[in-house]
Amino acid sequence: MAMEKIGFIGLGNMGHPMAKNLEKAGFQLSVYNRSFEKTRDFEEKSSVCTQIKDLVQNSDIIFTMLTNDNAIKAVYEEIIPLNIQGKLFVDMSTISPETSTETAAALKIKEASFIDAPVAGSTTPAKEGTLIIMAGGEEKDIQRAMPYLLKMGKSIKYLGENGKGLAGKLSVNYFLSAIYQGLAETVLLAGKLGIERSDMLDIINESASGSGATKVKTPLLIADEYAPAFALDLMLKDILLAKNAGADFPLSEVLVQTYQNAHDKGFGQDDVIGIINYLKTIE
């Protein structure tokens, strides 16, 4: 299969390393970011576009990795009026299923295709190309995007029609939000009972209660420093999206309240496991 020309819009904490993996693989790549500074280290090997329309014109497959629904709507409002017949758009953001399916429908009218392909994993898997990608859309479009998705993820899970990738992502992040709050509370309880944090984390990680999620956050908890690999505010966004999508369970209200209160108290830009600092304030 001849390799197509690739565009990537959104070079944030996740998008930048994901686009870099496409560049390293040798694909013909164009990039765009609203803040031009983040495009600097693409100038040598890729094409840097200063306008979205130029990137779309010069690309066959366009990836978007943006912060939220509003950002996606703003970008695709610029894209949809363009001549996009035959192009494939792959949105890897975590947004509402409704916004995703509406975008897919609008693109279909213009004879373009759309996949929702959000990812599980934070900045380290993004750099390593070991993300898990959950995809929704037509199978032929998934197959068209597959050579490029495989450079960003270790596993591509096809879940069905447009919106199903996001359904998978919101479900797994709902679970992660509970794990991280539970982990933080457990560490605080152990501290109250005189157990060293490092010992408690060893017990968790070496027992059935441990997981990749607990292990990846252990160094942050040991250092008690919470530079964001995945910011608390982003988890709050995803919990609210999950609630709006149907998460109406006893735990749902607790998670929304805790993460919202942590945001309100100024912890939103910390890593998600930095919720421990908010929990300390209510002990």
Question: Which of 214, 180, 179 has its CA nearest to residue 200?
Answer: 214
Question: Which of 265, 271, 27 has its CA nearest to residue 152?
Answer: 27
Q: Give 31: exposed, middle or buried? Use CB within 10 Å, 0-12, 13-18, 19+.
A: buried
CB 152 within 8 A of CB 23: no
Beta-bridge partners for 160? 136
Backbone dihedral angles phi then psi of residue 137, each to the nearest 5 degrees: 150, -170
Known catalytic residue: 215? no
* Cα torsion through 175, 179, 182, 186, rounded to 10: 160
Catalytic residue among 87, 164, 169, 237: 169
List residues with catalytic annotation.
169
